[in-house]
């Protein structure tokens, strides 16, 4: 089950092992564990439910987990909440944490960050690492608790010192980015390394990027590639894209366009817009893959719909040319406008050209001048020639009006 950064369920094998280690050695409980470990969750549920009904907090927690995860029974967060609450009220820290997660997400109970923070707090007071992490993040974000970076770091450090990988990763990010504390790349890298050693894919990715840039660690393309590969093999899209980029550039790995396209494609399939754009452009050029304009347009379209400006620009060009899609200047102008509105200088210049020529839009030299100006303001130097040329055709009143229009574009910032 894929949950948020700090709200992963405690229903993993490790969590259950921890609970069972502290549980009584009652025959039914042992047999339930054997059933669970054998994959027969329905039998485990049948053995644990009577114990839960008798008030055994460990069994109540385990029954809640099975209902929460839909193991051996249809998933039912309301039923899970009932059993978690019974165990939580007896002081069961894992149950308190999971009940807090249900309140945080609004699953099986009415959504309430306040109640989530309360239950996380009760578990955190018992030293339960995942609850400390969750409550620490709520302090960090100011959710139902006053934003308090120092308190967030304190709780995350307590959890991290117990080996909680998510807490270690979050501390690493806090120190690297200087969130509520002085930026410290070295300390950030140290915490990320601890999380990465536990196989935390996000930490592996972040640490790999630090190695690539030499931030807080020695610059080492090879180490970066190794870490990114570990994360990519776990299916993390951002790591797959980054590893593809290394192969594309030949940094830390052999330059290999086909391998780059493979990793870009895997990340694209997970919906990462920058990867969708990259594989689209490779399909257009036939670099590392067989050229396929229609497939290129498909991937660029997916990224463009997500608001990725470069994809919107390239998709607009395809519609202008009728390459891989039907030729449609009006639709091209719409995509270019979306990219231009995000401040992409090359798209602003192209849109200006469309207004100057009246392609896909009504001819408007004032608007053309305004978009050329915006493009130049955003650092796209070639727009200077275009703006100078069209300026010679405008009178003083038109230039004044163009200035007003420019202030309405991104270039008027």
Q: How far is residue 59's CA from residue 9's CA, in Å, rounded to a whole number?
A: 17
Q: How far is residue 281's CA from residue 313's CA, in Å, rounded to a whole number?
A: 12
CB count in 10 Å sphere of residue 271: 12
User: CB within 8 A of 25, min separation 6: which ones?
Assistant: none
Is residue 216 within 8 Å of 186, Cβ to Cβ?
yes
Q: How far is residue 313's CA from residue 311's CA, in Å, rounded to a whole number?
A: 5
Using CB atoms within 10 A of its CB, is residue 263 exposed (0-12), middle (13-18) or buried (19+)?
buried
Best CA proximity match to 275, nearest among 263, 287, 289: 263
Helix axes 57-69, 13-22, angle to 10 degrees: 170
One digit per residue, the tens of pLDDT, for the chain of length 413 reads: 333 333 333 333 333 333 333 444 468 889 999 999 999 999 999 999 999 999 999 999 999 999 999 999 999 999 999 999 999 999 999 999 999 999 999 999 999 999 999 999 999 999 999 999 999 999 999 999 999 999 999 999 999 999 999 999 999 999 999 999 999 999 999 999 999 999 999 999 999 999 999 999 999 999 999 999 999 999 999 999 999 999 999 999 999 999 999 999 999 999 999 999 999 999 999 999 999 999 999 999 999 999 999 999 999 999 999 999 999 999 999 999 999 999 999 999 999 999 999 999 999 999 999 999 999 999 999 999 999 999 998 888 888 887 777 666 655 44
Question: Is residue 317 included in any domain, yes or no?
Answer: no
CB count in 10 Å sphere of residue 57: 21
Helix axes 93-105, 57-69, angle to 10 degrees: 30
pLDDT value at residue 408 = 64
C-alpha Rg value of the chain to the nearest Å: 28
Q: How far is residue 405's CA from residue 398's CA, in Å, rounded to a whole number?
A: 10
Question: Is residue 30 included in any domain, yes or no?
Answer: no
Question: Residue 217 in 3-state DSSP?
Answer: coil
pLDDT value at residue 409 = 67
Question: Is residue 115 included in any domain, yes or no?
Answer: no
Question: Is residue 31 included in any domain, yes or no?
Answer: no
pLDDT value at residue 67 = 98
Enclosing domain of residue 373: 364-413
Question: Is residue 52 included in any domain, yes or no?
Answer: no
Question: Is residue 221 included in any domain, yes or no?
Answer: no
Best CA proximity match to 76, nearest among 60, 65, 87: 65
Using CB atoms within 10 A of its CB, is residue 334 exposed (0-12), middle (13-18) or buried (19+)?
middle
Question: Is residue 372 included in any domain, yes or no?
Answer: yes
Say what the pTM is.
0.86
Domain count along the chain: 1
Question: Is residue 379 included in any domain, yes or no?
Answer: yes
Q: How far is residue 24's CA from residue 134's CA, in Å, rounded to a whole number?
A: 28
């Amino acid at each position: 089950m894929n949950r948020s950064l700090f709200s992963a369920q405690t229903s993993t094998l490790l969590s259950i092992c921890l609970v069972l280690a502290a549980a009584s050695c009652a025959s039914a409980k042992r047999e339930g564990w054997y059933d669970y470990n054998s994959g027969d969750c329905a039998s485990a549920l049948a053995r644990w439910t009577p114990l839960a009904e008798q008030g055994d907090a460990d069994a109540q927690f385990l029954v809640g987990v099975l209902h929460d995860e839909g193991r051996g029974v249809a998933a039912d967060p309301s039923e899970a909440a009932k059993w978690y609450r019974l165990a939580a009220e007896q002081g069961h820290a894992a149950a308190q944490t999971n009940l807090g997660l249900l309140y945080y997400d609004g699953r099986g109970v009415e959504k309430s960050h306040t109640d989530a923070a309360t239950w996380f707090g009760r578990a955190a007071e018992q030293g339960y690492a995942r609850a400390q992490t969750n409550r620490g993040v709520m302090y960090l974000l100011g959710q139902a608790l006053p934003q308090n970076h120092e308190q967030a770091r304190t709780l995350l450090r307590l959890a991290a010192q117990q080996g909680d990988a998510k807490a270690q990763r979050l501390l690493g990010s806090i120190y690297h980015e200087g969130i509520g504390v002085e930026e410290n790349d070295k300390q950030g890298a140290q915490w990320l390394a601890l999380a990465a050693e536990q196989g935390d894919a996000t930490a592996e990715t972040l640490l790999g990027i630090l190695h690539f840039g030499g931030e807080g660690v020695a610059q080492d393309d090879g180490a970066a590639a190794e870490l990114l590969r570990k994360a990519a093999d776990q299916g993390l899209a951002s790591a797959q894209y980054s590893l593809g980029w290394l192969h594309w550039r030949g940094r830390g790995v052999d330059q290999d366009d086909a391998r780059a396209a493979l990793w870009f494609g895997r990340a694209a399939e997970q919906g990462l817009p920058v990867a969708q754009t990259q594989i689209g452009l490779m399909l257009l050029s036939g670099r590392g893959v067989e050229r396929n304009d229609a497939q290129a347009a498909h991937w660029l379209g997916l990224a463009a719909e997500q608001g990725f400006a470069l994809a919107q620009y390239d998709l607009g060009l395809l519609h202008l040319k009728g390459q891989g899609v039907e030729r449609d200047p009006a639709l091209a102008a719409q995509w270019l406008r979306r990219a231009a509105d995000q401040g992409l200088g090359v798209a602003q210049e192209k849109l200006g050209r469309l207004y100057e020529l009246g392609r896909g839009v009504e001819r408007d030299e004032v608007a053309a001048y305004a978009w050329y100006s915006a493009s130049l303001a955003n650092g796209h130097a070639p727009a200077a020639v275009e703006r100078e040329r069209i300026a010679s055709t405008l009178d003083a009143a038109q230039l004044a009006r163009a200035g007003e229009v420019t202030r309405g574009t991104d270039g008027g910032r």
